[in-house]
Chains A and B, each alone.
Chain A
Amino acid sequence: MSLQTLILCRRAPYGSALAREGLEAALASAAMDQIPDLLFSGDGIFQLLDNQAPEEIQQKSLLRNLQALPLFGVERIHICQQSLNRRGIGVDAIALPGLELTLVEDTGALIARYQHVLSF
């Protein structure tokens, strides 16, 4: 049986509204009992970095939305290993309590398992 929905997060957090909209879509979907999976790839992995201080640029923290995911039933996120490698970022730079981080080597195989993919 194929899984329902994958939310594909490819944007850095504060440069555009897309990162926030992706997380909001995930939370809204989960609130309607359609718990999605999330894949962070490309610049989307910058959303996961610890030590963000967006109040410096008068923006609201996106990390808070990420931390809310487990409260809505999203307990695991997928992260593209190659995107991490490209940017020289280790998993140790990501601290998200309550979320299980799954590193994905073959994103194509992951995407193929879903009925719907929402891109942000």
Chain B
Amino acid sequence: MALHIVNQSPYRSSALNDCLAAMAGGDALLLIEDAVYAAGMTPAALPMEKPIPAETYCLKADAKARGVSVSEKIPQIDDDHWVTLCVQHTPIVSWF
């Protein structure tokens, strides 16, 4: 299973939308940097065509730094957990 990492706000860039279109079932998604804004929005406020998948994570420090209140469904992880995800998944795909 792949790990997809997105770092752009969904309102500024097509990165998250493109990523969702290229995800296979069971892939994981990690939202970092400005992509954490997608983790704090109600589904109706999000511009993507597809919903974010069940296995979606958000980098806690980036969300806290930006004052984003992350949805309870999205686990907030630290850098150590990020490394663990990288070890558990192949390939790792960056979207920016």
Contact with B91, one of A41, A42, A80, A115 (Cβ below 8 angstroms) = A115
Interface residues of A toward B: which range? 10 to 19
Q: Are A111 and B21 in contact (CB under 8 A)?
A: no
Residue from B2, B27, B96 in contact with A119 in the complex, judged by beta carbons closer than 8 Å: B96
Contact residues, A95-111 vs B (CB, 8 A) = 106-109, 111
Partner of A114, one of B14, B18, B91: B91
Chain B 64-87, CB-CB to A under 8 Å as 1, else 0, gives: 000000000000000000000000
Total A-B residue contacts, Cβ distance less than 8 Å: 45
Does A112 sit within 8 A of B, measured CB to CB? yes
Shortest Cβ gap from A41 to chain B (Å):
7
* Whole-angstrom CA separation of A50 from B13 in the bound complex: 26
User: How close is B18's CB to chain A, nearest CB, in angstroms?
Assistant: 5
Which of chain A's residues have a CB closer than 8 A to the CB of B22?
41, 80, 107-108, 111
**B2–A41 CB distance below 8 A:** no
Q: Which residues of B contact A69 (CB under 8 A)?
A: none
Q: What residue in chain B is nearest A114 (Cβ atoms)? A: B91
* Contacts from B to A (Cβ < 8 Å): 1-2, 14, 18, 21-25, 27, 90-96
Top 7 closest pairs, chain A to chain B, by CB: A108-B24, A107-B22, A117-B93, A117-B91, A119-B94, A112-B24, A114-B91
